[in-house]
């Protein structure tokens, strides 16, 4: 008999399993996929760690979480500095003095601020009614048209004029020559890939892969005193109140017989004609020098039941349904729900680890 059955071998489940085991508990981790790590899983192709479910870049301001992950695997110094390709024009991201020079040939922060302000005033939007108006009121028309509009429409599968303004609360604009996408103090990629982190978390713990919890529910529930569930929230309750909606993604991986395809790990395609949102070149996450390279085209897509759920759609309809499901969660006495799917919320990696550690401490009364 196990103390805990952990459904899902993603970061939340793996951290929980590790911490419970450390406290003398016996855990079984199951996952319907044939690998551990959830969406952080890396596949080794030509000696390159391919981020199989899209780019994962670890970043945090929390020293405790940074020290925690580094206690399992050493992280490199990778800094996320995406490039935007708009019909062949290249721009640095996030929006900073390099971007403004590329856009308008302005050389000083004062000139850049004046240009943006001039466009904001010309648009004269007092109360933004949608995402398009919100973005223009923050950064002006040029940046919106070239770097935000089509990329956002591809991501959401909706026109910007049909998306609510609150999706973009703020758009970070830097008046320095700084291409570091994140403001966090700590950032990097595990040396050897994320599998090393997940393998270290699960060391000495029983793991069963290719096991669908819902097809073996009675047997699995009977094997443990308590359940930690990290799968889709609505699926746990057999979708009885309806489906919570997501945006999904599709990835096309390709091995190329060249050592360097695009010179950067992440290139966003911000025009409206290119169907994919970005190309990832994985070797650059770990400064690879292999003879070949692996690239991934990332396509956003509408989610339908059965597809991989990636981003929760936090609109009024889904928030209302989530509140109803949470009432069912509260009635479950022997199940701990955690992680992005079970909580129906977007988590970065450091946040999901922080959430798991906090729930462990609360559970064990520490």
Name the residues annotated as catalytic. Answer: 170, 174, 247, 278, 298, 346, 348
User: Virtual CA dihedral for 49, 27, 336, 358, nearest 10 degrees?
Assistant: -70
Q: What does the alpha-carbon distance between residue 211 and residue 141 come to, in Å, rounded to a whole number?
A: 51
Q: What does the alpha-carbon distance between residue 103 and residue 115 come to, in Å, rounded to a whole number?
A: 11
Q: 229 phi and psi, to 5 degrees?
A: -110, 125
Answer whether 178's CB lies under 8 Å from 148's CB.
no
User: Virtual CA dihedral for 338, 340, 346, 347, nearest 10 degrees?
Assistant: 70
Q: Tell me the two tokens of residue 268.
A: 């966003």
Burial class (CB in 10 A: 0-12, 13-18, 19+), 77: exposed
Answer whether 168's CB lies under 8 Å from 138's CB.
yes
Cβ neighbours of residue 149 closer than 8 Å, sequence gap 6 or more: 132, 135, 160, 270, 272
Q: 116 phi and psi, to 5 degrees?
A: -65, -45
Q: What does the alpha-carbon distance between residue 346 and residue 134 come to, in Å, rounded to a whole number?
A: 22
Which residues, listed in sequence order, are joined to residue 352 by a DSSP beta bridge?
Answer: none
Q: Tell me the two tokens of residue 14.
A: 């793996």
CA geometry: angle 83, 88, 94, nearest 5 deg: 20
Q: Tell me the two tokens of residue 22.
A: 């450390």
Answer whether 229's CB lies under 8 Å from 295's CB.
no
Residue 115 neighbours by CB distance under 10 Å: 17
Helix (H) or strand (E) holding 133: helix 131-139
Per-residue DSSP letter, 40: G
Q: Which of 266, 254, 260, 262 is nearest to 292 (CA)?
A: 260
Which residues, listed in sequence order, are joined to residue 255 by a DSSP beta bridge?
Answer: 294
């Amino acid at each position: 008999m196990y103390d805990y059955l952990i459904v899902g071998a993603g970061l939340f489940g793996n951290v929980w399993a590790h911490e419970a085991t450390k406290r003398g508990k016996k855990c079984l981790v199951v996952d319907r996929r044939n690998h551990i790590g959830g969406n952080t899983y890396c596949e080794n192709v030509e000696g390159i760690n391919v981020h199989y479910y899209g780019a994962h870049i670890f970043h945090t301001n929390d020293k405790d979480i940074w020290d925690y992950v580094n206690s399992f695997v050493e992280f490199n110094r990778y800094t996320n500095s995406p490039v935007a390709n708009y019909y062949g024009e290249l721009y640095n991201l996030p929006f900073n003095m390099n971007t403004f020079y590329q856009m308008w040939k302005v050389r000083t922060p004062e000139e850049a601020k004046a240009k943006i302000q001039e466009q904001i005033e010309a648009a004269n939007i007092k109360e933004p009614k949608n995402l398009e108006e919100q973005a223009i009121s923050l950064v002006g028309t040029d940046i919106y048209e070239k770097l935000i509009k089509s990329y956002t429409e591809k991501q959401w599968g909706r026109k910007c004029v049909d998306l609510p303004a609150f999706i973009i609360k703020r758009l970070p604009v830097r008046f320095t020559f700084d291409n570091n996408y994140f403001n966090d103090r700590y950032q990097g990629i595990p040396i050897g890939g994320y599998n090393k982190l997940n393998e270290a978390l699960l060391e000495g713990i029983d793991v069963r892969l290719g096991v669908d919890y819902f097809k073996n529910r009675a047997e699995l529930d009977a094997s443990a005193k308590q359940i930690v569930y990290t799968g889709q929230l609505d699926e746990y309750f057999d979708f009885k109140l309806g489906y919570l909606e997501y945006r999904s993604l599709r990835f096309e991986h390709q091995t190329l017989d060249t050592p360097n395809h695009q010179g950067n790990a992440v290139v966003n395609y911000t025009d409206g004609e290119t169907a994919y949102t970005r190309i990832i070149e994985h070797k650059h996450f770990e400064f690879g020098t292999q003879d070949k390279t692996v690239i991934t085209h990332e396509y956003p897509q509408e989610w339908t039941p059965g597809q991989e759920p990636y981003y929760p759609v936090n609109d009024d309809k889904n928030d209302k349904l989530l509140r109803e499901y949470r009432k069912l969660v509260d009635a479950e006495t022997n199940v701990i729900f955690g992680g992005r799917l079970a909580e129906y919320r977007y988590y970065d990696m450091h946040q999901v680890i922080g959430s798991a550690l906090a729930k462990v401490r609360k559970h064990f009364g520490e």
